A and B are shown apart, each in its own frame.
Chain A
Amino acid sequence: MQEREPIIQFKDFGFKYKSQSEPTLYDINLTICKGEKVLICGPSGCGKTTIAHCINGLIPSSYPGEATGELTIAGSSFRDLDIFKLSKTVGTVLQDSDAQFIGMTVGEDIAFALENDRIPLDQMRERVAEVSMKTGVYSFLRHAPHQLSGGLKQRVSLAGVLVDDVDVLLFDEPLANLDPATGKTTIEMIDELYRTTGKTVIIIEHRLEDVLHRDIDRIVLMGEGRIIADMDSASLLSSDLLKKNGIREPLYITALKYAGVNINEDIRPQRIDTLDLSDEDIAKVQNWYHSVPEKPQPAEAPVILDAKGITFSYGGSAIKALDAVDLTIHKGEMMSIVGKNGAGKSTLSKVICGFERQQKGTIFLSGEDLASMSIKERADHIGYVMQNPNQMISKPMIRDEVALGLVLEGKLSKKEIDRKVDSVLKVCGLYPFRNWPVSALSYGQKKRVTIASILSMDPEIIILDEPTAGQDYRHYTDIMEFLRSLNEMGITIILITHDMHLMIEYCTRAVVLSDSRKIADTSCEEVLTDSEVVEEANLKETSLSVLAGMCGIFDAQDFIRRFITADREARK
């Protein structure tokens, strides 16, 4: 490989936030060269976001603290740079593009950096037109950014950064909140940009398999504030470092490992489409597949919730948010509602909970018509957990928050409430924290608090909206195993998600919504192997079915099913 000029260089770098007693970064030695494409990954709290903030100048501008060692960016020491100077070298695309749009229109948002550079209006218009053509958003210049689809939003945020002609593009968790298909096209878009402009690209992300959809020069793996590995993707996937550090391996890699295939650089494991399996390896996969016992099909339980022909539109709008949707939920099942953003998933759950009233259709709960029940009466049977726990928690103390519903109900004595709250806190693993303030908890723990506050009302069904959004693998597993344990206690669980892993791992059934209609209602494996449904609902085929095809296993659904069974066993 030819010598390249370094553009970002950390030397024995460390950093401690002003508000914290322990450093967040230790002994960072990392060189990123011009024209490289690097992925920085690691579990939550590993320091990857802190590294990003050091590179784009948010440290120390927004987050002051003490730095040790040296960091050089484009030839200058970080001590001589500030966020404004850095913004000419490093362009940052933040996660959650919705919250970062500043302009009212796409054009204005793209022009924002130019405005701050005092570029005259006519030049500004020219530059915006040029960049928007390059990123393919020219025809949307007058639209409000919030009205665009997830993929277009990503392009707009990218255009807003590209107007500055930066050398380095920094993507901070670009895949968070995107549906699987949009995530895939985002990775393709970044790659295309990388190839055509030759800019240095740094991606911060923990969803490894999705990023590896396109080639990456190097992966920097972080853990607890240190760099654990800095190597090419093939070597990293061949090691066991990912698993040890709480990063989920691509599913096909896990499957190959279960089958006893030796993963090394020679089989080119970095992408499923470069994978080169020998006949011997294929035989191993086939043998393993046949050795995994078939999962017994659960017996059909009685129907608990039966919605028929639900039709709904917001505020008298002519556009239907739900169009004659049927939904049948069986007692004790754990199922998912999937589909692209805006397909009607959240609306359907709001209608079930009575937050919105359907114009047509009926909903029966255990044979009883819900039409005459108020929000509160429905909530006694069906609990709803919002995506963002901060939107639900209204008491500063954990105990009070969990007790709130019971206190408001006023049926139980204080003693009975205390006893009930204690038992719920124990179930949720929050008992040791019972007297803590909510603000001292992590995101995942807050999520548990919101679930606990719903559980205290003894609902038969709990609906959760994106329960694991933005969580790393460890927290994801934590939350999902907890939900599974609740499910095993007999609570019916409905998950609204666009995480395909979550769906196949934890759900027996998926209902797919697309453009306000139900387009599939079947087992998760069947949904993911039906290319028409996958395409229409912006889902993504799993790499497992590709692997099954490579190994001559025709029944991809059965392969997925057996993989999940084996994986559950292995993780126990």
Chain B
Amino acid sequence: MITFDTRLLAALTVLAVVVMIVSKVRISDVKVLFWFSFVFMILNTFLIFVFSPEHGVTVYGTRHEICHLVWKVYLVKEQLFYLLNIVLKYTSTIPVVILFVSTTDPSEFASSLNRIGVSYKIAYSVSLALRYIPDIQREYHDISIAQQARGLEMASRKQSFLKRLKNAASMLFPLIISSMNRIEVIANAMELRGFGKDKKRTWYSARPFRAADIFSVVVCVLMLAASIVLGIINGGRYFNPFV
């Protein structure tokens, strides 16, 4: 997805929200992920504005000033429009990514990856990685609590950014050590049951290709085509309302 066409992004955002509702994923299950991406989005937009307040002008080639803010910084229409595109880019992708993570059965995903030609060892690594996310989250929680009990403050505003970074790193140390142990155990368990002896394997969770699958593939191809066509019409990645 390379497009920054505002109309397409807006349409995709609507689609993403609709799909999210249809999927019946409980909001409470994915709340944390949503918050995390939301904060990240705000931070990203804000930083773009701070570091390059007139980036929109370079993108769209015109300059419509609204007012003067401070020092050399002006509020410019093109910049606001550009930032709107950034936000739309987030809103059109985040729900879909969250949906993918929360509805995909890692095993089915691995077997499907393998079917389209990805080596099963890689497919299985992906599946294991997805599977261990909740375990590692739980472990991180335990570790961070134990460290807090010893006076390590994670989210305190009293500390400098560097200090906080250092504190976070000291939590990663135990997390990495215990993850390494976990990897050793699972690798042994897999090898003991014959993982990796042949070039191919079969899948217990293999699913046949259905009409719904063909339908989704077609929809995806159409969306990709739309973004390419719009790119040609706009003569670039951006839709420009200023000319």
Given contacts A388-B178, A391-B142, contact A379 B201 (CB under 8 A): no
Which chain A residues lie closer than 8 Å to B178 at the CB level? Answer: 388, 390-391
Chain B 169-208 against A: per-residue CB contact (8 Å), 1 yes, 0 no? 0110110011001101111111111111110111111100
Select one of A105, A160, A390 contacting B181, CB under 8 A: A390
Q: Is the CB of B151 within 8 A of A409?
A: yes
Which chain A residues lie closer than 8 Å to B145 at the CB level? Answer: 350, 355, 375
Chain A 104-120 against B: per-residue CB contact (8 Å), 1 yes, 0 no? 11011001111111111
Q: Complex formed: what's the CA distance from A346 to B213 in Å?
A: 45
Q: Is the CB of B191 within 8 A of A61?
A: yes
CB interface residues, A 87-141, toward B, < 8 Å: 87, 92, 94, 96, 99-105, 107-108, 111-121, 124-125, 128
Q: Does A519 contact B (CB under 8 A)?
A: no
Q: Is the CB of B105 within 8 A of A104?
A: yes
Q: Complex formed: what's the CA distance from A229 to B205 in Å?
A: 48
Q: Is the CB of B139 within 8 A of A121?
A: no
Q: Does B143 contact A (CB under 8 A)?
A: yes
Q: How far is the CB of B127 from chain A (nearest CB, A)?
A: 8
Which chain B residues lie closer than 8 Å to A392 at the CB level? Answer: 143, 146, 174
Q: Does A394 contact B (CB under 8 A)?
A: yes
What's the count of A-B pairs with C-beta under 8 Å?
145
CB interface residues, A 177-232, toward B, < 8 Å: none
Q: Is the CB of A118 within 8 A of B202?
A: yes
Select one of B146, B152, B206 contacting A121, CB under 8 A: B206
Which chain A residues lie closer than 8 Å to B171 at the CB level? Answer: 394
Q: How far is the CB of A44 from chain B (nearest CB, A)?
A: 16
Q: Does A83 contact B (CB under 8 A)?
A: yes
Q: Is the CB of A116 within 8 A of B201?
A: yes
Q: Complex formed: what's the CA distance from A61 to B204 in Å?
A: 26
Q: Does B150 contact A (CB under 8 A)?
A: yes
Q: Does A384 contact B (CB under 8 A)?
A: yes
Q: Is the CB of B150 within 8 A of A405?
A: yes
Interface SS, B side: helix
Contact count band on B: 35 or more
Q: Does A395 contact B (CB under 8 A)?
A: yes
Q: Does A176 contact B (CB under 8 A)?
A: no
Q: Does B147 contact A (CB under 8 A)?
A: yes
Given contacts A104-B105, A379-B149, A408-B152, contact A58 B188 (CB under 8 A): yes
Q: Is the CB of A62 within 8 A of B188?
A: yes
Q: Does A243 contact B (CB under 8 A)?
A: no
Q: Is the CB of A84 within 8 A of B149?
A: no
Q: Is the CB of B143 within 8 A of A102?
A: no
Select one of B105, B182, B190, B204 contacting A111, CB under 8 A: B204
Q: Complex formed: what's the CA distance from A384 to B148 in Å?
A: 11
Q: Does A336 contact B (CB under 8 A)?
A: no
Q: Is the CB of B174 within 8 A of A124?
A: no
Which chain A residues lie closer than 8 Å to B185 at the CB level? Answer: 94, 96, 99-100
Select one of A83, A115, A353, A390 contacting B149, CB under 8 A: A353
Q: Is the CB of B186 within 8 A of A99?
A: yes
Which chain A residues lie closer than 8 Å to B184 at the CB level? Answer: 62
Q: Complex formed: what's the CA distance from A62 to B190 in Å?
A: 11
Q: Is the CB of B203 within 8 A of A115?
A: yes
Select one of A87, A96, A376, A391 contacting B194, CB under 8 A: A87
Q: Does B63 contact A (CB under 8 A)?
A: no
Which chain A residues lie closer than 8 Å to B197 at the CB level? Answer: 84, 116
Select one of A94, A99, A112 contacting B182, CB under 8 A: A99
Q: Does B107 contact A (CB under 8 A)?
A: yes
Q: Is the CB of A121 within 8 A of B143?
A: no
Q: Does B131 contact A (CB under 8 A)?
A: yes
Q: Is the CB of B106 within 8 A of A104?
A: yes
Name A residues whose Cβ lies closer than 8 Å to a Cβ of B. Answer: 56-58, 61-62, 83-84, 87, 92, 94, 96, 99-105, 107-108, 111-121, 124-125, 128, 160-161, 164, 350, 353, 355, 375-376, 378-379, 383-384, 386, 388, 390-396, 404-405, 408-409, 453-454, 457
Q: A94-B188, A395-B170 are in contact. List 6 more A-B contacts (CB 8 A).
A: A94-B189, A100-B185, A114-B202, A128-B204, A391-B143, A394-B174
Name B residues whose Cβ lies closer than 8 Å to a Cβ of A. Answer: 105-107, 131, 139, 142-143, 145-153, 170-171, 173-174, 177-178, 181-182, 184-198, 200-206
